[in-house]
């Protein structure tokens, strides 16, 4: 595991964008796993800028999103499909037919989960998986206690996750109680994982993911076992990470904290 620490959110976002853009430019038909939430938005904005200045193209890229709320149609304002359309896809040169998000209104969610895994396999597997991390250590919607051996599946959302996401809905009662998510086994199949974290409130979760026991009670801790994983953090999220654990060779073009 490598840990790249940048001075602030903007520098962190640029670092992550450069790391992924370099791989896409080397492998134009790369398969990319994407995440939603506020953390990757800065990286997405940098990708959009790179596409506009012709230094990056998504024309051959295939994407798979980590998760989707169960019960929300793709055009719902808070669906993750709508999020991706509004925050990234509409601004870049990607083929919409090669962008995949779990179907929150599938009539048979369990079957759909299996089909989603098969679609990823047919695409050749995920080359780079982008992740965020929750304060309780969840990645995707894999909450504490989730089986490390799960592939894509339906999960009941914890109250803490629903509370955290309630700011996007009229009230807590409107937040879905279940979601479809790639499982921890799905995530670990990716050839490379890049986890982004920003802010002091993520520092404990990040520390436990890097230095804590590998345990299902802290899902992100499984990433210690991944052969090619990079944490890209701002200084606040990395506040508990000792200096000797940080990899200064990554994103040297950015200002080091």
Catalytic residues: 67, 136, 138, 143
Q: State the Cα–Cα distance between residues 127 and 3, nearest whole angstrom.
A: 19
Radius of gyration of the chain from its Cα atoms, rounded to whole angstroms? 17
Q: State the Cα–Cα distance between residues 196 and 238, nearest whole angstrom.
A: 11
Q: What is the number of other CB atoms lying within 10 angstroms of the CB of residue 126?
A: 25
Q: State the Cα–Cα distance between residues 22 and 18, nearest whole angstrom.
A: 6
Closest CA to 20 of 80, 107, 82, 88: 88
Cα 112 to its chain centre, rounded Å, is 20
Report which secondary-structure segment, H or E, holds 164: helix 159-165
Strand spans (E) along the chain = 2-6, 31-34, 62-65, 67-69, 99-100, 128-131, 153-156, 178-181, 192-197, 229-234
Place of tokens 């339906």: 154
Q: Are 126 and 194 in contact (CB under 8 A)?
A: no
């Amino acid at each position: 595991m490598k840990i790249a620490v940048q001075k602030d959110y903007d520098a962190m976002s640029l670092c992550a964008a450069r790391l992924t853009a370099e791989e896409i430019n080397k492998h134009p038909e790369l398969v990319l796993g994407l995440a939603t939430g506020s953390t990757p938005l800065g990286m997405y904005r940098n990708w959009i800028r790179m596409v506009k200045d012709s230094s990056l193209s998504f024309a051959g890229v295939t994407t798979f999103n980590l998760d989707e709320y169960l019960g929300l149609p793709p055009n719902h304002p808070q669906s993750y499909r709508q999020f991706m359309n509004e925050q990234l896809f509409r601004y870049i040169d990607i083929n919409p037919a090669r962008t995949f998000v779990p179907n929150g209104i599938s009539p048979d969610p369990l079957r759909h989960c299996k089909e989603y895994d098969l679609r990823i396999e047919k695409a050749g597997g995920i080359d780079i998986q982008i992740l965020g991390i929750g304060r309780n250590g969840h990645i995707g919607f894999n909450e504490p206690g989730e089986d490390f051996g799960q592939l894509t599946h339906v999960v009941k959302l914890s109250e803490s996750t629903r509370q955290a996401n309630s700011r996007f809905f009229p009230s807590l009662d409107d937040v879905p109680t279940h979601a479809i998510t790639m499982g921890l086994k799905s995530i670990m199949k990716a050839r490379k994982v890049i986890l982004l974290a920003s802010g002091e409130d993520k520092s404990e979760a990040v520390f436990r993911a890097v230095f804590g026991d590998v345990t299902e009670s802290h899902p992100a801790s499984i990433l210690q076992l991944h052969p090619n994983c990079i944490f890209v953090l701002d200084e606040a999220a990395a506040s508990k990470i000792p200096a000797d654990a940080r990899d200064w060779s990554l994103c040297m073009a950015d200002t080091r904290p």
